[in-house]
Amino acid sequence: MVIAFSGWNDAGEAATGALDHLIAAWRDDSSEILPQLIADVDPEDFYDFQVNRPQVFTDESDSRKITWPTTEVYGLVLPHLDHDLVIVKGVEPSMRWKSFTRELLDLADDCEVSMILTMGSLLADIPHSRPITVNITAANPKIATRLDVEISTYEGSTGILGVIHDGCQRRGIDAVSLWVPVPHYASNAPSPKASLALIHALEDFLTIAIPQDELALASDAWEVEINTLAKDDNDVAEYIKNLEESKDAADIPEISGDMIAKEFERYLRRRSQD
């Protein structure tokens, strides 16, 4: 089960953007792999409509419709892989987080989910022009050791993702968190480069290949746009240069054959599924 929510956990809409891509990536008329909506949350129970207001729109027949803030659950059958995916995308609930988490994890149990991966994004002092590193952690030390990820050491305010991880620990469900940083000076949504970094991290962690041509193109276009904007402001350009120098100095020890091998393995996975 892969989860992301808009709101506090979703700087630049990078996490929900990654999930939107994950849902759309296989939504092709020529493909037998299609995400299916299998459940949604009754918004009356969990949302404050003065905080997350419903939206009015006009449909193709010129009729007025309302969409309500909610959480939707999609099933994605992947016959060429060892596991299928359950994708959970929604608006962070306003209230009754314990009940919300209990209902979501009950659904995970019903779907026989073996692992839950949450995705979030946060603002950070990083340059937009360098590769973005995704932080992968587990709250449980035993799970972190078994899955070869870092142990989460964060302390402070949390969102619905933190509550979900707590619920997973109580039920004995393996849970991993993927967080991507978004340059704070370029945080307007969307943030396709950060979303693409999450997709790459998901590919590597699950050892799968995810179609990504459109997201990759959007990432390149976004970087060009930020470069253009930075050229018009000397202060911003100088600030970005300092960030780049700090990032490059910190990354020098990490540049290794392992990084090259990981990129090559990702390339081979995509080729094998073409």
pLDDT in tens, 124-177: 999 999 999 999 999 889 999 998 899 998 899 999 999 999 999 999 999 999
For residue 269, pLDDT over 60 is answered with: yes
**Mean pLDDT, to the nearest integer, of 67-92?**
91
Q: Alpha helices of 207-233 — where are they, by DSSP H?
A: 213-231
Rg (alpha carbons) of the chain, rounded to whole number: 19
Q: Does domain 2-272 have CATH number 3.40.50.10900?
A: yes
Residue 259: the pLDDT is 62
**Mean pLDDT, to the nearest integer, of 104-127?**
95
What predicted TM-score, i.e. pTM, was given to this entire model?
Answer: 0.88
SS3 119: strand
Contacts of 169 (CB under 8 A, 6+ apart): 139, 140, 175
pLDDT, mean over the chain: 89
**Mean pLDDT, to the nearest integer, of 212-237?**
91
Residue 81: the pLDDT is 76
Residue 29: the pLDDT is 43
Rounded Cα distance, 181 and 196, in Å: 12
For residue 252, pLDDT over 80 is answered with: no
Contacts of 107 (CB under 8 A, 6+ apart): 39, 73, 86
**Mean pLDDT, to the nearest integer, of 216-234?**
92
For residue 258, pLDDT over 80 is answered with: no
**Domain regions of the chain by residue span:** 2-272
Residue (of 199, 219, 198) closest to 210 by Cα position: 199
Q: Greater confidence, 213 or 195?
A: 195
- Within 10 angstroms of residue 8's Cβ, the number of other Cβ atoms is 14
Would you say 43 and 69 are in contact if contact means Cβ atoms under 8 Å apart?
yes
Both tokens of 268, joined, read: 């081979």
Measured in whole angstroms, the distance separating CA 14 from the mean position of its chain's CA atoms is: 6
Residue (of 81, 82, 71, 89) closest to 23 by Cα position: 89
Q: Greater confidence, 49 or 254?
A: 49
Structure confidence at residue 79 as a pLDDT band (50, 70, 90): confident
Measured in whole angstroms, the distance separating CA 139 from the mean position of its chain's CA atoms is: 18
Rounded Cα distance, 196 and 15, in Å: 10
Residue type at position 92? E
